[in-house]
Structure 1
Amino acid sequence: MLLCHLQGGLMLNTIKRWRKRPGLDSKADAVTRKVQSEQWLDDAGVTVNKTLPCLPGVHQCTLQSAHAIWQRIYALFYLSAKAEDQDPAALSMLQKRCLSPLQFTHNEQKLLAQDNWTLADKESCVWRYEAINTLLWTLKLHVRLSKPNQVCDILGISRLVLNSSAEELTARTKIRTPAQCLDQADLYYRYSQSMTSKTGSIYLADINEQVVQQRFHCFMWLMGLIEWDDAFPSALQQLSKQERLQVAP
């Protein structure tokens, strides 16, 4: 739950900063989206905090390009494969599949520079399959996102991406509209906040907390509302002060 509280607070602060920018107000589409998400969660039996603010509207966001999304997908596949201790030949083959050099974030570069990964590092990277699944949905390579009560089909998405060339996948790409992505961003924003509140705890047994968080933060990045490293901090950054002391050399 520590990760949820830390990232939940980060997201709330990010949203507050957005809403303080000159000329930005609660656009009609943002208000409608908030009401729709609350109704959906109410119908699903999730207790919703209706005092949470609206996310920015469609015209206040910039959807990531298809190229940027594919760059993220291949980089995340590489990190996940490395976390699973795949042999160097497999990692090299993955790099060659990408149309351009893999682009890693600052935190990812620091992690790749380390010879020995902690268990927390590996688990964090393996969870990125859920982010990959969300990104593939954005590119219309998935019809829908399933209920977040179980992990994605890792073998299925691996076959989808790795059994086709980058050229073939790019040709099949049809990116969803900003409104569709914001619908999901808003829904998972309220989902995630319900999971970190006491009122939402009754529903935790039927929902995978990590799946919700991965989808939520991925959508926030997709809409240009937060940098990837802020949405997905390193494993060490996720630890409390006491936990950091325990893993310190």
Structure 2
Amino acid sequence: MMKRLFSALLALILPVQAAVSQPVDEAGARKGRSIAQLQSEGVPTIDHLPTVEPESESTRRNTKAVVQRTIALAIVAVKGETGDHAMGQALIRQFDAASFFTPKEQAFMDDPNPSDQDRANFAWRYEGVHVMLWAIGISPQLERPDHICDVPFIAKTLRELGTDGLMRRAKLRPQKELLDAADLIYRYDWAAVNARLKGEEPPGGLDKGVVYEWHYALNWLIGYMDQDWDDISTDT
């Protein structure tokens, strides 16, 4: 009798212990939420696209690095848009940003006559600024990547806050939010690239340039493959 009671109790206890010790599939759940959102928007998905790494395996950027990246991206974007070398140098002094640039950015800022292609490429970095301002809590949300960002808002925000003010205001969002955004943009980018390969327009009204820039910035924010900014890959 006692043996049967012990066996029954053991049968009740073991499943509970197994459930407690079973790790939550954080990355899989994140992937599922992203797919559900894209499907609700009519954006194609594929189930075998991998997950973004879980929080425990991702890199947490420090707030200072994100603020400096924000300012560097804004300055190279202004020079890319305007082609004004003197203005670019003035902005570096204004924001005390001489040490904020990557090697490729520094080469662009040092060049008084960059090519039209370089200017166009760097002008797109406004989108990276938009992502960074969201990441440090200045912008409330990312919305959908179906239109270019609000450049006047970026200019006004940075002009009013400056480097020190931005540093004081900055509060890096929880890693979970950054990973959620990175997983979602990863799948948006797959859909945009897939459409391009098929000779079609991006689905769901997506702007492929915006999608790419957000993917690039978010991969840096989560430390994807431990790559430096100049070497970020946007695999799909």
2:83 to 74, 82, 85: 85
Distance 2:201 2:104 in 1: 35
Matches within 5 A, 1:70-149: 70-83=67-80, 84-86=82-84, 88=86, 90-98=87-95, 101-149=98-146
> Do residues 45 (structure 1) and 42 (structure 2) align?
yes
Report the CA distance between 1:108 and its aligned residue.
Answer: 1.8
**Which of 71-80 and 214-223 deviates more?**
71-80
CA deviations 1:92-145 (Å, max 9, x no partner) are: 442234356332112223333434211110111110000000000000101111
4+ aligned runs moved over 6 Å, structure 1: none
State the percentage of identical aligned residues: 27
Name the counterpart of 1:220.
Answer: 219
Measure the CA separation in 1 of the matches of 2:44 and 2:128: 25
Amino acid in the other structure paired with 2:232: A
Secondary structure in 2 matching 1:45: coil
Higher relative contact order (CA 8 A, sep 6+): 1
Partner of 2:205: 206
8 A Cα contact 2:30 2:183, kept in partner: yes
Unaligned runs of 5+ in 1: 1-25, 234-249
CA displacement 1:131-186 (0-9 Å, x = unmatched) = 00000000010111122111011011110111223222211111101110000000
Kindly indicate whether the alpha-carbon contact (under 8 Å) linking 1:188 and 1:212 is maintained by their aligned counterparts in 2: yes
Residue equivalent to 2:177 = 180
Shift of residue 219, structure 1, vs aligned partner: 0.5
Q: Aligned equivalents of 2:76 and 2:37: distance in 1?
A: 34
Give the C-alpha shift of residue 191 in structure 1. Answer: 0.6
Residue 229 of structure 1: aligned partner:
230
Change (3 A) 1:75 1:203: closer
CA distance in 1, matches of 2:118, 2:92: 21
RMSD: 2.3
Aligned to 2:7: none
- Hey, what's the Cα distance between the residues in 2 that align with 1:210 and 1:70? 23
Structure whose CA Rg is larger: 2
Deviations 1:11-67 (A, max 9, x none): xxxxxxxxxxxxxxx971111111111111011110101111111100101121111
Amino acid at match of 2:95: C
Q: Helix, strand or coil for the counterpart of 2:161?
A: coil
Q: Which residue of the partner structure matches residue 35 of structure 1? A: 32
1:197 is paired with a residue whose SS is helix
Which residue number corresponds to residue 168 of structure 2? 171
TM-score using structure 1 length: 0.76
- 2:84, 2:97 → 1: CA distance? 21
Partner of 1:7: none
Aligned-partner SS, 1:196: helix
Q: Normalising to structure 2: TM-score of the pair?
A: 0.80
How many residues matched?
207
Gaps of 5+ in 2: 1-22
**2:181–2:218: 8 Å Cα contact kept in structure 1?**
yes
